[in-house]
Amino acid sequence: MTSSTRGYLSVIAAAVMWASSGTASKALFLGGVTPFQLVQIRITLACVALGAVLALFARHLLRVRLSDIFYLLVLGGVGLALVQATYLYTISKMPVAAAILIQYTSPFMVAVYSVCFWAERLSAFKALALFLSLIGCYLVVGGYNLHLLKMNLEGTLAGLASAVLFAAYSLLGERGMHRYAPWTVTFYAFLFAAVTWNIFQPPLHFIYTGYSAEQWGYMAYIATIGTLIPFGLFFVGVNHIRSTRATISSTAEPISAAFMAYVLLGETLEPLQILGGTLVIVAIVVLQLQQERSELAPEVIRSTSAND
């Protein structure tokens, strides 16, 4: 198996696991668990599991500078805590695939921010991607059906908030990646997010709430298969292929989510919603290919200059 093949398979596997996490979360919501209870459980269990693994096998990854504690507090205690909450709340209010597709507009939030505040040029490809994503999201949330939009207004607003927050979290996270290993940043983001949610929710309430064995199974699945393992696989994939190609490959998530939600939960999307989802995925591919072309351009110029 070639390095690139291993990279693509790792990213696609991560996307499928993330999608299954959304479906498992919806099953818990249907059973009476609230999004805010689940976000506390998910983050706390993931933090404990990752902390135990690092303490046993990579203790050096737990070391951070005191001067970076405030940054990590903002990244996890505010950024990740809100991203997870709005993401799960969106899933509780609308079909899983539609919720995930709305959050997938986060790359376009980054693109808009870059154009507005970083003076990046709005290329034709970027403008096309933004247009397709806007039309696609309008169709995905059922904007053509006023009654459906009214029903999903809370979910739609929460999904858009999640996309904006995830874009901000991604931009803020880049700073940490320049100083620490990805697993270090991930652990402290989980840690401070867990602290936040154990303040706003009764601390460790899930231990004595009386969930059933089936619900505990879903929660353990979401914390491990839906959180820790896919993050690791995604990092493995990025090590073998460019991050741009990894992002494109991860569009398998909303596709997988739609299939799983249909088979396991009986959720369906209307034809126009499916069309909207297709437009969003096409827009992501266009935007990421444009980004890759922009990243490669300076290398080509340097290579040509060297040959001269």
Q: Dihedral sign for Cα 191, 43, 151, 255, please.
A: positive
Work out the average pLDDT over 90-97.
83
Residue 99 amino acid letter = A
Find, among 2, 1, 3, 24, the residue nearest to 230 by Cα: 24
Residue with tokens 């500078």: 65
CA distance 123 to 299: 19
- Burial (CB < 10 A; 0-12, 13-18, 19+), residue 68, is middle
Mean pLDDT of 204-218: 86
pLDDT at 216 over 50: yes
Question: Dmax over Cα atoms in the chain, in whole Å?
Answer: 72
| CA distances (Å), origin 96, targets 18, 22, 101, 108, 251 | 11, 6, 9, 20, 14
CB-CB neighbours of 202 under 10 Å: 12
Q: How far apart are the first and last CA of the chain?
A: 37
For residue 304, pLDDT over 50 is answered with no
- The pLDDT tens digits for 131-185 are 776 677 667 666 666 565 555 778 888 888 888 887 788 778 767 877 888 888 8
- Reading the block at residue 28, the tokens are 């818990």
- Inform me whether the pLDDT recorded for 69 exceeds 70: yes
Side-chain-side CA neighbours of 289 within 13 Å: the count stands at 10
Task: Give the pair of three-digit tokens for residue 38.
Answer: 């689940």
Q: Is residue 76 within 8 Å of 136, Cβ to Cβ?
A: no
CA angle 198, 29, 219 (to 5 degrees): 55
DSSP per-residue codes, 204-216: TGGGSS---HHHH
Asked if 77 and 195 count as a contact pair (C-beta separation under 8 A), the reply is yes
Q: Is 78 exposed, middle or buried (0-12, 13-18, 19+ CB in 10 A)?
A: middle
Of 2-11, 59-68, 221-230, give the lowest mean pLDDT range. Answer: 2-11
Most confident residue range from 72-76, 124-128, 208-212: 72-76
With a CB cutoff of 8 Å and minimum separation 6, the contacts of 262 are 268
Q: Look-up: residue for tokens 């993401």?
A: 87
Q: Residue 269 CB: number of other CB atoms within 10 A? A: 21
Average pLDDT over residues 192-213: 88
The answer to whether residue 308 scores a pLDDT higher than 60 is no
Angle ∠(225,104,285) on CA atoms, nearest 5: 105
Query: Which pair of tokens denotes residue 278?
Result: 């297709």
At residue 106, the pLDDT reads 67
Q: How far is CA 31 from the centre of its chain?
A: 24
Those residues whose C-beta lies under 8 Å from the C-beta of residue 303, and which sit 6 or more positions away, are: none
- 79 within 8 A of 172, measured Cβ to Cβ: yes
Residue 142 is given by DSSP the state T
- What would the pLDDT profile of 241-266 be if each residue is shown by its tens digit? 655 555 555 666 777 777 787 777 78
